[in-house]
Structure 1
């Protein structure tokens, strides 16, 4: 009888620890530069202007066994905008665009993540930019997951969306081809 109780206790511990391994919180690996917030917008309709935000942080939860319970939260330092042109970046930080003195942060917090299969999902949540919050939805794709060479465990996702500048109080006239900006979030998270 004592042996049976010992076996049940060990089995219970294994089940509990295996559940803990599946459910996990991740920190987005910005220190190792394995995550990016990129953007692009048409320039006069003739070409694409590309850029990124160099400073941001975030975290997410993900459990492959219960993927629809996933969550993500990201905070972007808007003053870190980088379009590879100092004068343009100064203009983008000003009142015509991001108004970083009054709104130094842009944020996204998910309200739901619905997976259609093991690797693709639709994320819905509140995106705040230039002091304006809107609910947006966009598709994401799981890039991969597994052990890293340093004894940790990682998972990565990429997602894209397009937002209308006027929806966020940015009404500077860039021409009819430049009313929307495409955003891309590429993240690699380290399990905590």
Structure 2
């Protein structure tokens, strides 16, 4: 009886081990904000005549990615909304007010991904929830895989760029900037260091 059980146990154990080794584990990365190798930028039309460009200077986050199973990829980003920087002090003060980002009440914006879909040629789409000004809405980000490899300091890095567009009123930002200025384009340049 013991020999029979042993004969059954060994193949099952080997099969389970083989199955586990074939399951790819995603690599985890920390977004390299310390080295300023990542950025969150935005632009919005000014009166329909030109573009106003800015960025958020303070944020952090992490992501996971597996080349063999990219659909399991995940991203989380936290943004300090008071770090908004449009290269104009008075305008930035207005952007921090309750007319726009309302940073005293909502000091942090977040993005948490919910799905990732490879499209080929390094392109993908990522969906997730963006929380801004106390409102959470789903957004879809067009993603481009920039590259991956070893760095000069013994680490391993991977980078992506993502673009999306959000509508101000969707996030309870009701200030009327004119019909050409109802949407904001966001660009996220993400370089991560593998943990």
> Do these two structures clear the TM 0.5 threshold for a shared fold by scoring above it?
yes
- Taking the aligned partners of 2:51 and 2:129, their CA distance within structure 1 comes to 27
Any conservation in 2 of the 1:79–1:104 contact (CA below 8 Å)?
A: yes
Tell me if structure 2 keeps the 8 A contact 1:107–1:128: yes
Aligned structure 1 segments of 4 or more residues deviating by more than 4 angstroms: none
Task: Give the alignment partner of residue 139 of structure 2, picking from 132, 136, 151.
Answer: 136
**What residue ranges of structure 2 are gaps of 5+ in the alignment?**
1-16
The question of 1:106 aligning with 2:109 is answered yes
Give the alignment partner of residue 46 of structure 1, picking from 46, 49, 52.
Answer: 49
Deviation at 1:120, TM superposition (A): 1.1
Contact kept in structure 2, 1:64 and 1:118, CA below 8 Å: no
Indicate which of 29, 32, 54 corresponds to 1:29: 32
CA distance in 2, matches of 1:24, 1:146: 13
Match of 1:81 among 80, 84, 87: 84
Distance 1:68 1:118 in 2: 15
Per the TM alignment, residue 173 of structure 1 is displaced from its structure 2 partner at its CA by 1.0
Return the TM-score normalized by structure 1.
0.89
Report what 1:150 is aligned to.
153
Is the 1:73–1:109 Cα contact (8 Å) retained in structure 2? yes
Query: How far is 1:118 from its partner?
Result: 5.3
Q: Which runs of 5+ in 1 are unaligned?
A: 1-11
> RMSD between aligned alpha carbons?
1.9
TM-score for both structures, normalised by structure 2: 0.87
Residue number in structure 2 paired with 1:115: 118
Compare CA radii of gyration and give the structure with the larger one.
2
Equivalent in the alignment of 1:4: none
Contact residue 44 and residue 175 of structure 1 kept, 8 A: yes
Secondary structure of the equivalent of 2:153? coil
Deviation at 1:138, TM superposition (A): 1.7
How many Å separate the matches in 2 of 1:169 and 1:27? 31
